[in-house]
Amino acid sequence: MSRPMNVLVLTDLSDVAKNAGSYAVQFLAHTPAVFHMLNIRLFNPGHSGEAFDPETEKLALKNLKQRAAELQEISTNKQHEFKVHYSENDLLGATRNYVAAKEIDLIVMGAAHKGHSPHTIIGNHTYEMIKKIRCNVLAVAENCKFDPLQNLILPIDYSASIEGKTFNFLKRRGVAEKAAITVVEMEKTIQDEPGRKFFGEINDRKIHLLKMETSEAFSEKQLQQVQKRFELIVLLGKNIGICDELLHTEHGLCSKVALNLPILVLHE
């Protein structure tokens, strides 16, 4: 019997972060999982200077426990477990430590709109996490509500080396099972090997292959259509160019156009 999935939910207990946690519980409704809810000091505007403040930690853990209880009520899976953690470390340092110590399979973060971030919808923290932490990341837009996943879209660039294990997360029990995947192949990188052969291994999903120029794929018009037809965008962490086209905090498409879909970034 495989172990439960370990999920790290990074939260400042804002409405954006609360929405992300709620989405994650519904997203993994059919997957045994341990949700590790982590708050770090920089998420608490009232923390006192550089010195360790036991009162800040005490209050953070109290609020986390309350939020964990709320998520427990949302959950319909008896194999969901919730644990709370607080860290004095910086965002990347704390995340790396917990990813290693808890064998994390998925990091969950809220993705704020421009009203919460000076640059982009995805948020600087989320973009930095996707770029620097080699762990699957689910970024949930603040206005995103969970809909049963029926159609996923995956833009892909075969110029990066791709291995079968890249898609292991989508083979996990209960993860968007039976959802069809539309693979958008960047026109200049299309090849029969080594990329395409792995799609047949992702359970028994329907796979649709679509060729598209980069300029067309990452246009405002295309993004609007994507939000009408799909419930989740899947990216590969190795496809740095695609991640930047969509998520770059200053120049990416999402810095200009509101995105209300969650984004799942897969790392090996």
CA-CA distance, 70 to 64, in Å (whole number)? 10
Strands 180-186 and 5-10: unpaired
pLDDT value of residue 116: 46
Is residue 157 within 8 Å of residue 186, measured between CB atoms? yes
pLDDT value of residue 110: 87
pLDDT value of residue 200: 67
Give the count of alpha carbons within 13 A of 64, CB side only. Answer: 24
Handedness of CA 164, 168, 174, 175 (dihedral sign): negative
CA-CA distance, 182 to 225, in Å (whole number)? 13
The per-residue pLDDT for range 193-232, each reduced to its tens digit, is 445 667 766 767 888 888 888 777 778 888 888 889 999 9
Q: Which residues contact 136 (CB under 8 A, 6 or more apart)?
A: 105, 106, 107, 169, 264, 265, 266, 267
pLDDT value of residue 234: 94
Does the global pTM surpass 0.95?
A: no
Give burial (CB, 10 Å; 0-12/13-18/19+) of 181: buried
pLDDT value of residue 81: 97
The per-residue pLDDT for range 182-195, each reduced to its tens digit, is 999 886 555 554 45
* Chain centroid offset of residue 132 CA: 14
CATH number of 5-141: 3.40.50.620
**Residue boundaries of the structural domains of the chain:** 5-141, 151-258
Q: Which residue has the tokens 């029969």?
A: 192
pLDDT value of residue 31: 95
Residues of the chain scoring pLDDT < 70:
1, 42-53, 112-124, 187-197, 200-201, 203, 249-251
